Amino acid sequence: MSQPTPAARLQTPPPGTRAPELVVARLRSHGGHLVWSAVLLIAVAGVTGWLFDNLPAPFENWMLLTAAGAVVLLGVVLPFLVWLSRTYTITTRRVISKSGLLARHRSELSHARGYAVTTRRSVAQRMRGTGTLMLSDGVEGRLELRDVPHAVLVGEVLVDQIELNQILAHRDSQGLGSTGDIPTD
């Protein structure tokens, strides 16, 4: 087993300087609920193909195609766009949640301020390897990351980022010199 090299370790910035904000992870909720949309798409295609040119007298093919298009739009395209519009970004400084199709909503929590990480996993989520993470700073900030893949690992990463940011904030607030010595009074 090889040991990590010192160059592979993330270097902390010098005291008094701000660390660059790096993206740790970009996530979307698990796409498991889109399975029903895929099943609906296959069923609509099969029924449309079977009924095309076999409709009773008062109905025409354009009516069938219009109905099939409406069902696909409402049952397949719209759920996919809703899933696609919700993203979670974890950086070295904060957690950002963006959602919304027409009107965008953005929420964020800072790691340096600190917050509690709670994981909730139902039986279905445990089977898929997902979970819901609830982040709360106890004052006003509350953020819910719904159905996140690898929820336990993401929760551990968030706790590590909180710890690192609080250590750096404490170090900078103490006014440590560039040599790392603790000032004496």
The full DSSP string for 14-53 is PTTSPPPP-EEEEE---GGGGHHHHHHHHHHHHHHHHHTT
Q: Per residue in 37-93, pLDDT tens?
A: 999 999 999 999 999 998 888 889 999 999 999 999 999 999 999 999 999 999 999
- Note the pTM of the prediction, 2 decimals: 0.75
Q: How confident is the model at residue 176 (pLDDT cuts 50, 70, 90)?
A: low
How does the average pLDDT of the chain come out, rounded? 85
What are the tens digits of pLDDT across the range 113-144?
A: 888 999 999 999 999 999 999 999 888 778 99
What one-character-per-residue DSSP string does 74-88 give? IIIIHHHHHHHT-EE
Q: Specify the CATH architecture of the domain 22-29+88-172.
A: Roll (2.30)
Q: Are 120 and 131 in contact (CB under 8 A)?
A: yes
Q: Cβ(142)–Cβ(10) under 8 Å?
A: no
- Which two tokens mark 126? 């445990």
pLDDT band for 10, please (50, 70, 90 cuts).
low
Domain residue ranges of the chain, discontinuous segments joined by +? 22-29+88-172, 33-83
DSSP for 148-160, please give it. Answer: EETHHHHHHHHHH
C-alpha to C-alpha distance for 40 and 46, rounded to whole angstroms: 10
Q: What percent of the chain has pLDDT over 70?
A: 85
Give residue 79's pLDDT: 95
Give the total residue count for the chain.
185
Banded pLDDT at 1 (limits 50, 70, 90):
very low
Whole-number pLDDT of residue 185: 46
Q: What pLDDT is recorded for position 159?
A: 92
